[in-house]
Structures are given as structure tokens and as C-alpha cells.
A = this chain, B = another copy of it.
Amino acid sequence: MTKPLNVGLIGYGFMGRTHSNAYRKAPNFFDLPYEPVLKTVCGLEEDQAKAFAQKWGYESYTTNWKEVVEDEKIDVVDICVPNNVHAEIAIACAKAGKAICCEKPLALNVAQAEEMVAAVEKAGVPNLVSFNYRRVPAVTLAKQLIDEGRLGRIFHYRANFLQDWTISADVPQGGDATWRLDIKAAGSGVTGDLLAHCIDTAMWQNGPITSVSAMTETFVKERMHAETHKIEAVGIDDACTFMCRFDNGSLGNFESTRYARGHKALYTFEINGEHASIAWDLHDLHRLSYFDHRDDSIVRGWRSVHVTDGDMPYMDKWWVPGLQIGYEHTFVHQVADFLQSMAEGKPAAPTFRDALATQKVCEAVLNSAKKKSWEQVK
């Protein structure tokens, strides 16, 4: 009989839905050490919080996040609010001894992130940042192939995250739907929202980034605020490109933009090693491209691996070969791993400390763009 684990969710937006779905589905597919119980959901608008609770089966709702943190029955707090509120809530949770799952990026900046790390480490609470793409089976497989040494010495790491949803100058900033365009809520533009994912995966797969040179641009200079309806200067980066060096001697090339017409959420990476290369993209997330120079030369070519067989990461839990899973499953895997780690008393990656390392790269990137110089990542 598994022990119940009471979850309090803060934030009922897009991420609130992905996390709720994950808590509900995980026990049907994984043998978990705990049974997640959707205890309470918290959000700013009472009617929306209520409706969300009903839709997802939360036992209660509130508009005051402190109630969640102070609730003794809650075991895990799941933070799905805009970036500017992560730090305050997470630090309170740590003090209250809660396990924490926090949406990415960890914080608005390195200083905040360091406080958060200090808080969770001092409290000794389980902590995880929701860089969910690590748990796409094809991405996890890529990590496994690298760790097995199949690629040999790595020369190049290349990642893009391309979108096109903000090209129109009529898209507002701020508010519920477009807070990601508001510098105050988001802290940065594509760097924190999209490149943070790429950087997290890259350092997990290829080790630390040591120095960066970046360029950013804001193509649309002014947008109406969704709530005030005032035209305001846009403070975020619409696009960011950076080159970098990894500690292992390989070169990195990263780019993100919301002005790449034709790409909705095209997160791609490619890794070139001495013996083999790997490529992946989010638009066909169930496939991994793999090239192995050691193949017979006349039948050597990029392989398109359909990552659906039972011997692929996580896939023994789902359907049968050939039948793909999708985006939402990354969060289910995250819940399963987080709960398993908790039961074993081990950290679940990426921890707040892992996410701090990503935050440092993001900050170096933004500094580099501002100063037009190479920056060391400290």
C-alpha cells in the first residue's frame, strides 16, 4: 500500500495544467512509492481557482499562496507562477519543510537563485526544477548514448529554440496570457524562457559552459500592456544568439527567437562527436537522429530512431512499439522520478543547484550582449 503524498499547486495557468495532469497520470503508469493526492490549488482569481480545482479534482482551492505553504498536510508544493514570484514562495516553502517542484527558470537572476539554493539546502528539502525536456525519452536516450561513450570526444554542441508567435506588433505584453513578454514578470525574454531549457540540457549532456559571447535584439520596441492598455517599451530580448566554449573543449552555438516564421516551438540540438553524432527536435520529439561513423561505409547514414520500444527510457511504461507519446508525458516522467528520488532520499535532477548553474549562464549571456564582450561563467 503506497503512502499518500499531498500536493499543493500554486498557479493554475498552462503549467498548472501540465503538472496536474502529471500527478494524476503517473500512478496509472508507474509503480510509485507515493500516491499523489491533489490537495489544494492556489491562484489569484477565486472563480478560476475553483473551476480549476473542479476540473482536476483538487480537494480545495485558495487565493493565498501562504495558506498552501503553511498547511501542515501539504507535503509537496508545486510552483507554477511567473518567474518573479518563484523566489519568495520557494524560500517560504523551504522554511516550512516542504518538498518543492519549481517551474523554470529558477529565478529572475543569479542573486535570487543563490538565495533559493541556500534555502533548500539549509532546510534539506527535496527540490526539483521543471526542465521537463530532459525527460523526453529521445533526449534521455541521447544522454545515455553520450554517457556510454558512443560519441567519443565531443567537438560541437548546437541548439536552437525557435518560435514565431510574437511577430505581430499587436501581441500585448503583461497579463495572464502574455506575462512572458513583460520584463518585470519574466526577468528576460527568450533567454530565460527558452534558452534556459537548451542550456540545462546541454550542460547535463556535455558538461559546464565556461565562457559566452552573445547578441540580443528586441524587434518590436513597444507593445500595449494587456492590463493597463498603455503602450510601453518592451524590455525583454526577442531574440538571443550566443557562442560558447564548454569545459571539455567543445564549441557551442545557441540561438533562440520568437521571430522565426514557421517554427512553433522548434527546440533542436545536435551534438557532433569523434565517432558519432546525435540530433533531435521537439516538433518530432519521439525521434532521435543518430549517425555512427563505425557503420559499414556503404550503409552509413543518419538513422531516424523511433523512440517507442520498451527498451527506450520510460517507454516500457506506455504503449507498444510504433505508438508515440507526446509533450505532456515529460511531466509524468518528472513526477515519477521526483517521487522515486524522495523515497530513496536522493536528489532528483535538475535540483535548484543545477538550475543555478543554468541561471549563471543566462546571466553571462545577457551581460555579454549588453557589454558586447566575451564573459566568463563564474
Contact = CB atoms under 8 A, between A and B. Distances in A.
Interface of A: 14, 18, 20-21, 24-25, 27-28, 55-57, 141, 144-145, 150-151, 155-156, 158, 162-165, 167, 213-215, 217, 219, 239, 241-243, 245, 251, 253, 255, 257, 259-266, 272-277, 282-288, 290-293, 295, 297-306, 308-309, 311-312, 318-329, 372-374
A145 B259 CA distance: 19
B306 A283 contact: yes
B298 A311 contact: yes
Contacts of A292: 299
A33 to B, nearest CB: 15
A300 B242 CA distance: 30
Contacts of A150: 299
Contacts of A328: 318-319, 325
Contacts of A311: 297-298
Contact of A277 (B260, B295, B319): B260
B245 A322 contact: no
Given A319-B328, A323-B326, A326-B326, 10 more contacts: A14-B319, A14-B320, A24-B25, A156-B259, A261-B291, A262-B277, A265-B321, A286-B326, A292-B299, A319-B327
A296 to B, nearest CB: 9
A298 B141 contact: yes
Contacts of A372: 213, 373-374
A321 B264 contact: yes
Of A55, A155, A265, A305, chain B has the most CB atoms within 10 Å of the CB of: A155
A88 B70 CA distance: 57
A275 B259 CA distance: 10
Contacts of A276: 261-262
